[in-house]
Amino acid sequence: AKNAGRDTLRFYDPQMQAVVSARATLELDMRVGLAQGQFELYYQPQIDHGRITGAEALLRWRHPREGFISPAHFIPLAEETGLILPLGEWVLQAACRRLAAWAQQPDLALLSLAVNVSPRQFHQVSFVAQVLAALAGAGADGHQLKLEMTEGLLLQDVEDTIDKMGQLKGYGVGFSLDDFGTGYSSLSYLKRLPLDQLKIDQSFVRDVLTDPNDAAIARTVVALGTSLGLRVIAEGVETEAQREFLERHHCHAWQGYLLSPPVAVAAFEELVRRTNG
């Protein structure tokens, strides 16, 4: 591909053609997969003072021929093709059904569930109605639902974003800013948006003990969030030393392989009982 620069205006490029048809196949497979129940939510625990207080829901696709396909692979394509709209709606409904089921069990009733929301999904006119319908349809309480959004999403149409967040907050729904520090948020936006939580991106957590810049960023995010009245949670915590660093700097909560990767619901519930019991 290095020498393709000289004649980029070819009408037929077999290599490109292969990429295009692989994407078309993947898109079709996603539609079929959604209809046939091949998607599933996995749950990664979020820990606050040694207790599991909630989970992040992470989408998994069990493809009949390819096996597990990573969301890092199919979410961007789903965004491009618009398939994220039905897929994202399914995620919201599945998450709300899970919350309603937990609410029936005393040892799980207080858990919150965080759902990742993509920009295209959030900026649909019907997004607020969709969330409320998912909550009502399942009989779930909005206070247990958190939505994780990225900086790019929040900045796309700030007035619309603030309006939608405000409406949902009226039903108790919380908002986390995901991947914080990797995008373009300015402090003035942070102040205007009705957020509840900042999430320190895992790229800063990874080398927090060895890279002074990452350590400074992690500390600064905690200080900034705290001074704005927000909770701060770190993601991608893999070692006890990272956890200890974050705790020492008053980070409120964390998630990561150190306790558990995202797991299927039965394993998650078992972990909650064992950890909080």
Residues that bind ligand C2E (CB under 6 A): 44, 58-59, 70-72, 75, 88, 91, 116-118, 178-179, 202, 235-238, 256-257, 262
Residue 59 binds: one of Ca ion, ligand C2E, none (C-beta under 5 to 8 A by kind): ligand C2E
Residue 68 binds: one of Ca ion, ligand C2E, none (C-beta under 5 to 8 A by kind): none
3-class DSSP string for the chain:
CHHHHHHCCCCCCHHHHHHHHHHHHHHHHHHHHHHCCCEEEEEEEEEECCEEEEEEEEEEEEECCCEEECHHHHHHHHHHHCCHHHHHHHHHHHHHHHHHHHHCCCCCCCCEEEEECCHHHHCCCCHHHHHHHHHHHHCCCHHHEEEEECHHHHHHCHHHHHHHHHHHHCCCCEEEEEEECCCCCCHHHHHHCCCCEEEECHHHHCCCCCCHHHHHHHHHHHHHHHHCCCEEEECCCCCHHHHHHHHHCCCCEECCCCCCCCECHHHHHHHHHHHHC
* Residue 233: CB minimum distance to Ca ion, A: 10
| Near Ca ion in 147-186, by CB under 5 A | 148, 178-179
Nearer to ligand C2E, 77 or 192 (CB): 77
Nearest-CB residue for ligand C2E: 256
Residue 105 binds: one of Ca ion, ligand C2E, none (C-beta under 5 to 8 A by kind): none
Write the binding mask 94 to 123 for Ca ion: x where contact by CB under 5 A, - elsewhere: ----------------------x-------
Q: Contact positions toward Ca ion, by CB under 5 A?
A: 116, 148, 178-179
